[in-house]
Amino acid sequence: MGSVNLQKFYPDNGTAIATDVNNNYQAIRGSSQGLNDENVGNESLIHDHFNFDVNIRHADYQSNGYYVSTGTTLAANAQYRSLTDTSVASGATKTNIADKDHEIAHGSTGVTTTQVGAGTKIAVGGKADANNANGIQILAGDVIHVFWNVTAYRFVPDNGTLTNYVCELIDKSSTRSSILNYAFVVYPQFNTQDSLASNTNFTDAGDGSHGFSNDTFRNPSDGVAALGGGGGVADPNSTGLNNLTPFADYRTDHWTWVPIMMGSGGATSGAGDDTVAVMMDAQNGASNNAIGESKNCSGQTYIKVDTNKNLYAIQLYVAGCIGLHYNTTTTKNGSFVEDQAVTNAQGGIDGTLHIERASIGYVIYRKEGV
């Protein structure tokens, strides 16, 4: 601190004079009225002179709380379907538009919940009550840091009534050998519309109506054009690689890739062999359908706010299976949702990604702090 000139009583220990004592008191009192030049020059930049909280508008973290022991089969609601659908009749179209993407919404018991503050639906600004989020008014210039983690147990190819484990041309009766390399994608979406954080009001940060960023954030394209008859399914034979998302045209750095590689040996490896998913599996020992350990898949993104909005909630989504492709017309690399694994097949990659624990957090920085 700065200098304070005091009358010294020690070591003489003489008679205390009231005037000297009063002068000392006034000198000490005066020094507390502000930082003098020496204080400013020598000590004004020390940590204690700053309040760093003013640079953060709010921060929070949430986990779904779902933990199981090794070897446990995850709850049905923790198993997220690929875009294809094996519930329809054999030989019919198997692309199910309703399975384009899913909220990662299972809670601590593995049961789906739409409640804000549960699953991966985090209430921005905390919860106002049991059902509503407080929300925060984010302002142009603010920066939102979102971070997340999912533990993927395994990808399980369907091996049910249709015997079309990956698609109709790759199954245990096929004489062909194939290797397929795809992934599921996990990404956040945002609700700027209602404190209940209704699932219908979540969108990407760059959405023209409900978003708050001018950046070209893009969620995975569905890759599917619905048939005129509707019914929630589409014809993969007529769509192929439609809606390819070129990486050069959109921001996809908010995607976390959960890789999946599958292979089928056909008759060359023995009749009746299932498709092998070279993927994580936390069960004891390797099985004929999946090998490896459970895998933590993490991600984060930074988003600059360009439009003032009330932000109520953030939630994780998963979509897949995602493929990669090079467009020779535009000479660009991009991604698409796989609804046609093999030419002329009537289904894509049928199966479910099993997710155990999942967490999400955020920090909202004021524009003065970044």
Categorize the per-residue pLDDT at 255 as very low, low, confident or very high, splitting at 50, 70 and 90: very high
Domain limits for position 222: 57-369
Task: Check pLDDT > 60 for residue 161.
Answer: no
Report CA-CA distances (Å) from 128 to 113, 260, 333: 18, 40, 45
**What pLDDT, in 10s, does the model give residues 313-352?**
999 999 988 877 777 777 888 887 766 554 444 455 677 8
pLDDT at 281 over 60: no
Average pLDDT over residues 21-29: 72
pLDDT at 271 over 90: no
The two structure tokens encoding residue 262: 């599958």
Query: Among 60-74, 256-270, 288-302, which stretch is predicted with the lowest mean pLDDT?
Result: 256-270
264 and 309 share one domain: yes
Residues 30 and 75 in one domain: no
273 pLDDT higher than 60: no
Domain boundary among 30, 50, 70: 50
Total count of domains within the chain: 2
pLDDT in tens, 27-72: 766 665 554 555 555 555 555 555 555 589 999 999 999 998 876 7
Same domain (yes/no): 138, 72: yes
93 and 27 inside one domain: no
Cβ atoms of 84 and 96 closer than 8 Å: yes
Q: What is the pLDDT of residues 108-144, one digit of tens each?
A: 999 999 999 999 999 999 999 999 999 999 999 999 9
Give yes or no: residues 145 and 16 share one domain: no
229 and 319 part of one domain: yes
**Is the domain of 143 the same as that of 197?**
yes
**Whether 45 and 66 share a structural domain:** no
pLDDT at 24: 73
Mean pLDDT, range 251-268, rounded to an integer: 74
pTM for this model (two decimals) = 0.76
CB 221 within 8 A of CB 243: yes
Q: Are residues 45 and 92 in the same domain?
A: no
Distance (Å, whole) CA 232 – CA 362: 35
Q: What angle do CA 115, 320, 113 make, to 5 degrees?
A: 10
Mean residue pLDDT of the chain comes to: 75
Return the bridge partners of 150, or none: 297, 358
Q: Are residues 13 and 105 in the same domain?
A: no
Percent over 70 (pLDDT), the chain:
58
Residues 17 and 95 in one domain: no
The reply to whether 267 and 291 lie within a common domain is yes
311: tokens are 């932000």
